[in-house]
Every structure is written in structure tokens, then in C-alpha cells.
Amino acid sequence: MLSILVAHTVAALIAPLLVRLWGRQAFLPLAAVPAASLVWVAANWNTEQRLSIEWVPGLSMNIDLRFDSLAAVMSTLVLGIGALILLYCARYFEDDEPRLGIFAAELVAFAGVMFALVTSDNMLMLYIFWELTTVLSFLLVGHYAERASSRRAATQALLVTTAGGLAMLVGIIVLGQMVGSYNLSDVIEAAPRGWLAGTALVLVLVGALSKSAIVPLHFWLPGAMAAPTPVSGYLHAAAMVKAGIYLVARLAPGFADAGPWRFTILTLGLASMLVGGYRALRAYDLKLVLAFGTVSQLGFLVAIVGIGSRTAMLAGLAMVLAHGFFKAALFMVVGIIDHSTGTRDVRKLAHLGDRSPVLAATAVIAAASMAGLPPFLGFIGKETAFESTLDSDAMGPLSSALVLAAMVVGSILTVAYSLRFVWGAFGRKKLRQPSAAVASMHAPGWFFLFPPVLLAVLGLVAGLAAPVVDTLIAPYSKTLPSYGAEDYHLALWHGVNLPLGLTVVVILVGVLLYRVHKAIARTVPAVPLNADRVYDRVLYLMDLLSLRLTGTTQRGSLPGTLATVLATLALFPLISLIVYTRDGVDIRLADSPYQIIVGGIMVAAAIGATIMRNRLAAVLLVGVTGYGCGLIFAVHGAPDLALTQFLVETLTLVVFVLVLRKLPAEIDEGRSFGRKPARAALAALVGITVTLVGAYAMNARSTRPIAELLPDLAYDFGDGSNVVNVILVDIRAWDTFGEISVLLVAATGVASLVFRNRRFGSAPRVSDAPSAMDSAQAASEITWLSGSDLIDPRHRVLVLEITTRLVFPTVMMLSIYFFFAGHNAPGGGFAGGLTAGLALVLRYLAGGRYELGETLPFDAGKILGIGLLFAGGTAVASLFLGAPILSSATFEVTVPILGDIKMVTALFFDLGVYLIVVGLVLDVLRSLGARLDAQIELSRQ
């Protein structure tokens, strides 16, 4: 199983290169990947296989794969039809098709992702693959991105299926927590009951039914016909829409008897069958006829597999295979028609059957299976479905009768639109000669015809070999109860019985309905309630609501927005504590006199910042509170936190000072938000709330604090004595990876706001200065900093230049020391990067913007990217060394002079953090510093 996933991944990666080299012929070797995988599926059909790879056990996200008979049935469709679709693409597209390489990669990747989905036992991994199919379908449906219809269809499919997927994720988490395992096999075996489990089950079904285009979320599928025909033939006939059917079939053994199951599935499934069949009779586009027919057939499939009996599951799996065969074949037939004639409109096609008899015969065979005519597999599946509804023990007499009646009516509609498709595409239509589009058509080649012909013939062969199909799909159906009925087997002939009589009625009434459907369409108006229009209206109302809400809450005032956020932060927790808390809280004012002294200074500085009008003075007072916090860390034995706090506070002050250069020195109280007393009261309220919440949280502790366990855990599992650093680079490395990614985004955002035209590049160097030639003589003399020669002498500080020249190497060495020593002593990549950043700040303040380029002549964006690459690469390195992803793996090396050296892979993660912090500081200095300096210089000229 893992080899199949790897093969599809590799094929998807090299697909653009193959298409570039060989054009559309590259689809031929790409088709070999799913074809070879299908051989593995056939060889292992009757054996259940499991594969478990530990990935993120703390989040229950292990890679657990399970291959059984149900996965085999679904894999046959995914891989077999996927291979034929890739062969079909080799003739459907031309070599000059835009973005053909990307399309090929997406199609191959989709086959691999669908195989992973149907073999995933871990529900969280299943959800990941579930959403990957959504993303890939968005890309495939929107292949013709230059067309508005394609963009709308892709967006519509993305929104609907993603919303359903998010609902499903909530249900998955609830079920997983209730059972204590996220493996599907465990959840189905436990099958929890109760209102909470029922709610979770409905949420999971929302995801499944939205993916399978079930009413009322069916409208995205007809819209998705804007995609290229190979996409329609694969995703919307054999792959993506079958994901929901698969999930319903997978959950049925455990939850078919759950309260909301049958009502939800049967009601919506049968409604889809009727609505889709009705809409198919009113469409003129051949792809839309098939699209609405697909909605109808998917509703039929959901209803059958959702009944939850052995016979119904047997019928459902037979129909899943039959539907994949005939619907993919019919979509490919439509693609050939469109490719050969340039139209899909049934009103513009006449005598096509005479011009292309092989294509017409293929369509007739596939449509006959769709209509449920003997001896095709579609007939056998429909007969079995009728038989399954006759067993009232599963649903009750009244429900069985209603379900059977709905299936009969839906089957009548299916016969009618099957005839409409065949006659609309290939009939003569009372014309003596071919229509213009047919007269000018070019005949399709045999290779183009091969995939649909093979699929149509397979539907016939499978019907004639019904006992063989029964042996292949019966093992999974036996996991469901038989409800006392005799075991039913697939066969072409079961004698004269009620299902056969119903089939005769379905065929006769279906033919009659086709003969009179035009008259009915003229007299019966279209249904006014169109789901597509409802979707547009909902989007419009959501846009309107978001605009009104944004206009109300976002008034363009940053202080006003912050006041709203802080008031919410203060009031809601405080009110909750007052109303719901019954126990008191034990608070000690201080543990030592140092706390009182430092705390008093911090309070005084905070009050001073509130009443101060000078911006710089207020910023410095805020900095005093930060330094005071760092001092408290140091007093309480947290030197690592104290060091980081001091460095961050210093760097923050520098950034504040850089920004304040563009602002007036004094605060205009007349334009400020609110009054000072109100702002001070809000600040005090936030402080009190945070203090009380922290105190209540500490008093609520009932077990041993985890902090007491961290030193041993840090050394035993992270091979480091510095608890803080080990937490950052090992125990909570995922969290750190997310934080440094945010830092990278923040740096990019700041630079993009300042550099509106050109964001990339290094800081300016002396050679880039307009007056560089004039300073050539000065450069030949003794100078402390190269960039300072370009500064106005009135703004130069010689003492600062000399000090910087002497101190800079020492500070950089200190940053390197912090980096290497951080795993066992105070420091680390973050502290080392901050120290190096402060060295850059010192160099910039002393030598100006040109000195910054001389000190570090590199693009900050590249430094940020390399840092993120190092941090992410550590995950792969850990796996190769036998450790879980993003955790420390230790290895020892012997160096001739240094001797034995113990290395930890977390060091490379820390290197990524170091580089990202340095890149962040460089980007901020380059944008808020050097860029603003250039603007100030221009304004002075």
C-alpha cells in the first residue's frame, strides 16, 4: 500500500517534466502507475492487510492503512478507471494545451490520494486525504482558469465540500474521543450510542453526503461540468463522488441501526434520486444530462448502502461498480462527441450514430446498463436493490414500501433520461441528413475509443459473470446482518418474482415517460426553487452580513479595535469567574522584597506611560515594565527567560524608535481614542483579569505540577539540560515551527507594506550610494565604519562608531556562544539570533543604512527561507535517524582534535530559528530603517 502511494507521488512530481518532453504522449507512461497498482489490488483481493507507521502519536495521527474487500472494490474504480482516463487524455488533449503538465500531475495525484482515502483506517488521516481530494478537485475543475464558468464551478465545489468536510471533522473528533481511538475499525466495533454520538454521526454524514452531491448540496456537481471531460469522467463518476458512498458503506456495519442514520440517508438519498432524474429530463447539454443523472444515481447508491442489511450492501457494491463502468464510459463518449463535433447540445446533433457507429454502440451499451436492462451489471444491482427493500425487518413495513416506491419511480426516470441521452446524441430526429456539426465532424481514432468501449463491455461482461462478481464483493456485505433472510447471491436470473415484475414496469413506464416528456415539459413549469440560486443568495447574504459586521466593528481606528478586544478579554472571563466560581483563591502578595521593589517600579512606569504625552518617553517607560519582568525572571531562577526577555525588550525598543521617527513627538490628545482615565481603567481591568485568571488556574491545580517533571524529561528525551530550549526545539517543536513561520510572515508583511514596488534585495551598500565617488578619498583614509562616511557630519557620533567597531565582533561571538550552548545552558537559537540582531542594530545606528548593507550584504528573504528550510529539514532528518518527526535524535562523532562530540538534531532546528530571527531583524532594519532613511533624505533635498 505504501509503495502505491509513493509511486503516485513520484509520478505526480515528474508528470510536468514528462509532458514537457513528450507532450500528450506522457499520459501513457503515467497511466502505467495506477494500472500496475491495480495488479497489486487484484493479487491481494482476498487478504486483509494492515500497515501502521507512527507519525504524531500525541495527536493520534499515526499512518494506519487497512486493505480489505471494501477497499478493494473502491480501489478497482479509483485505479482501473484512473488508468483508462489517463489513456483517454493522451488523445483528448492537444500538445499545445496550456498547463497540461500541471493537469497531468493533479490527475495522477488524485488517484493516489483517493487510494489513500479508501485504505486509511485512521480517521484523522482519512480527513487529510479527504480534504486533499477537495483541493485537487478545485484545481482540476478550474483547469480552464481563464473562463469565468470554470472559476465559479471550482469555487462552488470547494466551498460546499470543504464546509461539509469541516462538519465531518467535528464528528470525527467527537467519535474518536468517545471511543478512545481514531481508527475506523475501533469506532465501528464500539459504535457508541446516545445523543452525542448521534450528533457526531450526523456531522460525519454531512461531510459524506456533501462530497457525494446529495440533496440539498447536490448543485455543485452539475456546475462542475465546466471542467474538462476527463475530470468529469473520473472525479464525478468513479472517484471523488464515490468517497461519500465509501464512507457510508464503511460506517454502515456499526451505525446502520443508530437513531438518525436511516432517516437521514434514505430521505436525502431518495430525494436526490428523484430530483436528479427529473432535472436530467430537462437538460439539453449532454454533460448536464449525465451530471444530473449522476446526482440521481448517487442518491440511489447512498440509499442502498445506507439500509444496513447484507443484501442491500451486496446491491450497493454491485451498483457502485456498475455506475463507475457506465458513467465513466458515457462521460468519455460525450468528450469524444464534443471533441469531434464541437458541440454537446442535443439540438445540434443528428445522424451521429450513422457517422460513428462504434461510438453509438458504446453509448447504447453503457446507457443500457445505466437504465438497468438485462443482462448488464446495472440490471443485476437494481434487481438486488429491489429485493433488499422487500425485507421489512431492516426498516419496517411502511418504510420498506416507501423506499421501494421511491426507487421504482427513480428507476423509471433513469430509463427515460437514458433513452433521451442516446437518442439526443445519436438519433436522426426526423432529419434526412446530418446536422451541420455532425457533417463537419472528424472521426475518432481507435485509441480514443478504446477506454469507453472497454468500460462499456466490462459492464456487460460483469453482468454475464454475476457469480464471479458476487464472490468478489460478498465478503464485505457479510459484515452486516441478514435480518433473518436467506443469503442472497448476485445472479442474472432469480426466476419470476416481484423484483422482475417491477423491472418490467420500470422499463415500460420509463419508455412511455420518454415519449411524453417533451409534452410534460411544455405544460409543467420548471421548479422555481433552484439550489444553485439558493447558493448564490446565501453567498450574497453572507457577503452583506460580513460587510455590515466589518463596518460596525472595524471603524479604521486601531485604538478603538484594541479597546474592543481588550474589553472582551477582560469582561467575559471576569464575569465567568464571578458567576460560576464558588471557591475562593489564595493569593500571596510577594515571595521576596525584590518582587515588591521591582513591581513598584513597573507599576510606576506603567502609570507614567499612561499620562506621558511624549511618545518616546512613553515607549521608554513601557520598556521599563518589560525589563522589570525580565528581572523577576532572573530573581526566580529563570536565566534563560530573563535573557530572552531582555533581548526582546531591547529589540522592541529599537523598532519603536525607528517607527517614531515618522510620527510627531507629542501625542495629540484631541484626536486620541477615549479619555485617559477610561484607557487607564481598561488597562487596569485587563491586568486584574489576567492576574485573577492565573491565580484561579494555579489554585485549581490538584495534581503534581508538570514543571517538576520537565527537567528529567528534557534530559532523558531531549538530551539537554536547558529545559526551556528543549521544550522549544523538541517537546513543543511543532508549536515553535508554527511560531517561526508566523515570524517569517510578519517580516514579509512589514517589508511588503514599506516596499510597495520591489520587496526583494539586500540593504544598500556604499558602492550603491550616489556620492560614493565623492567619498573615495575619505574611504582611503582611516575610518571606523564604511557607511558612516556617507552620513552628514552633523549626525555622526564618533564615540558610537569606535565602540561599535570594537564591540561588534564580541557581540557576534556571544550570539554564536548562545546558539551552541543553549541546549544545556541559558541561550539557544532564539536568544542567539536576537543577540546577532542587536549587533546589526548597533551597526546600523552607528553607521547608517549603507553600513547595514556592508555588514550583511544578503537578501533578508533568502536568510528567512534558508532558516525555515533548516527547521523543516530537521523533521526529515529525525525520521531517517529513527526518531519521531521534529524530535531530537542523538548521534556521536569523533573529531581528531576535539575528540568525541555528542550532536543532537535539534541543533539544526535551532539553527533555523537563529537564521529566521536574524533575517527578521535584517528585514525590519532594511524596511523601517534604511527605507525610511532614504525617504527622509529625499524630503530634505
N-term to C-term CA, the chain? 70
Task: Using pLDDT thresholds of 50, 70 and 90, give the confidence band for residue 527.
Answer: low
Rounded Cα gap, residues 850 and 733, in angstroms: 37
**For 296-334, how does the pLDDT look when each residue is reduced to its tens digit (9 = 90+)?**
999 999 999 999 888 999 999 999 999 999 999 999 999
- The residues facing 899 across adjacent strands are 895
Looking at mean pLDDT, say which of 28-32, 691-695, 880-884 comes out highest. Answer: 28-32
pLDDT at residue 773, as a whole number: 43
What's the whole-number average pLDDT of the chain?
A: 85
Can you list the alpha helix ranges (DSSP code H) found in 256-351? 261-280, 286-307, 310-341
Give the C-alpha separation, 101 to 83, whole Å.
17
| CA torsion through residues 335, 339, 345, 350, sign | negative
Whether 15 has a pLDDT exceeding 90, the answer reads yes
Task: Show the cell assigned to 408.
Answer: 421504482
Find, among 201, 217, 219, the residue nearest to 209 by Cα: 217
Cα distance between residue 862 and residue 420, in whole Å: 61
Contact by Cβ (8 Å): 438, 350: yes
Q: Which amino acid is at 761?
A: G
For residue 184, the SS3 value is: helix
3-state secondary structure 462-496: HHHCHHHHHHHHHHHHCCCCCCCCCCCCCCCCCCC
CA gyration radius for the chain? 35
Q: Does the structure show a pLDDT above 50 at 693?
A: yes
CA 696 to chain centre: 38
- 586-598 pLDDT, tens per residue? 777 777 888 888 8
Give the pLDDT score at 593.
83
Which of 479, 270, 462 lies closest to 379 in space, CA to CA?
462
Beta-carbon count within 10 A of 144 CB: 17
Reported as type and span, the H/E element at residue 164 is helix 148-179
pLDDT of residue 53: 84
Q: Residues, the chain, total?
A: 941
- Stronger pLDDT, 118 or 715, i.e. the higher one: 118
Output 477 or 857, whichever has higher pLDDT.
Answer: 477
pLDDT in tens, 550-585: 887 777 777 778 888 888 888 888 888 877 776 667
Give the helix ranges, DSSP H, for 755-828. 776-780, 798-821
What are the helix and strand counts (H, E) for the chain?
40, 4
Residue-wise pLDDT tens digits, 708-749? 888 888 877 777 788 888 888 877 788 888 888 888 888 777
Closest C-alpha among 679, 663, 696 to residue 611? 679
In DSSP notation, 641-699 reads: HHHHHHHHHHHHHHHHHHHHTTS-SB--GGGSSS-HHHHHHHHHHHHHHHHHHHHHHHH
Q: Is 79 exposed, middle or buried (0-12, 13-18, 19+ CB in 10 A)?
A: buried
The least confident of 57-61, 653-657, 867-871 is 57-61
Q: Is the link from the previous residue into 664 a cis peptide, with omega within 30 of 0? A: no
Least confident stretch, 400-409, 772-781, 803-812: 772-781
Instruction: Give residue 128's pLDDT band: very low, low, confident or very high (50, 70, 90).
Output: very high
Rounded Cα gap, residues 270 and 402, in angstroms: 10
Handedness of CA 264, 269, 275, 278 (dihedral sign): negative
Task: List the single range of 235-244, 453-462, 844-853, 875-884 with lowest mean pLDDT.
Answer: 875-884
Of 859, 871, 650, which Cα lies nearest the Cα of 740? 871
CB proximity list for 592: less than 8 A, separation 6 or greater: 635
